[in-house]
Amino acid sequence: MMKNKLKILFRIAFLFMVFFYACNSNNQNETPKESVNMVEQPQFDYLSEGKKIAGEAQSVLGKNLMNAINSKGTKYAVEFCNIEAIPITDSMAKVLGASVKRVTDKPRNPNNLGNETELSYINRMKADIQNGETAKPLMAEINGKMIGYYPIVTNAMCLKCHGDKDVTIEPETYKKIKMLYPSDKATGYAANELRGMWVVEMKKK
Ligand code: HEC
């Protein structure tokens, strides 16, 4: 019964996500229990669940970033990202009951460099884009955990801080970036390029 409820809930959540992706949904505090064992129950859809979680985290981070840029400008927003990006994703992870992080092959913050496995998935997603397809999310089971990988693709707004110096990145912003991140590798992007991935680690149900 619990599982049926859950199934309906996830279906609703999924539909909600598809149709109202841009809006920010409220968090659902359902903690799935693994007591009932039903034979016809289809396998839990980790890929969709992880996508929902990555979408929430992206939406919260994006909103905060836009607010920072609009209220005090791009240079200030760099400082904001410097202080807030990791705490925001961490607190999202707590709310959502899964671990969430961003990783990349060209890090601004060295802590966000992907490990070997993650880098290989980044390369696969880049290959998707090179082949004219959209980058596909991936799912892996590692040490008994279900891990979803979701592409982070650039748009024009990102180029204010991840594009080219003096072209899309203003000199003042660039200075601030270099000051906070002397080993920054996260510039030179165009729109619609793979900037990294969300990595969502879920408990196996
Ligand atoms: C106002 C400047 C600014 C804008 C605009 C911006 N970023 Fe960033 N970005 C940063 C900073 C600063 C960091 C480092 C955050 C940290 O220290 O964790 C960062 C880090 C990241 C990371 C984590 C990996 C890494 O390199 O450390 C990703 C992924 C990322 N940005 C993607 C994007 C995308 C996609 C967009 C557009 C939707 C975007 N950023 C827009 C400043 C910006």
Residue 31: predicted pLDDT: 47
Q: How confident is the model at residue 166 (pLDDT cuts 50, 70, 90)?
A: very high
Ligand 1 center from residue 113 Cα (angstroms): 13
How does pLDDT run across 143-155, given as a tens digit for each residue? 989 999 999 999 9
Radius of gyration, CA atoms only, the chain: 18
Locate tokens 């839990």: which residue?
44
Ligand 1: atom nearest CA of 80 is 12
**Residue from 158, 170, 176, 200 whose mutation best tests the ligand 1 pocket (most atoms within 8 A of CB):** 158
How does pLDDT run across 50-92, given as a tens digit for each residue? 999 999 889 888 999 999 999 999 999 998 888 888 888 888 7
Ligand 1 center from residue 180 Cα (angstroms): 13
The CB density around residue 132, as the number of other CB atoms within 10 Å, is: 6
CB 148 within 8 A of CB 46: yes
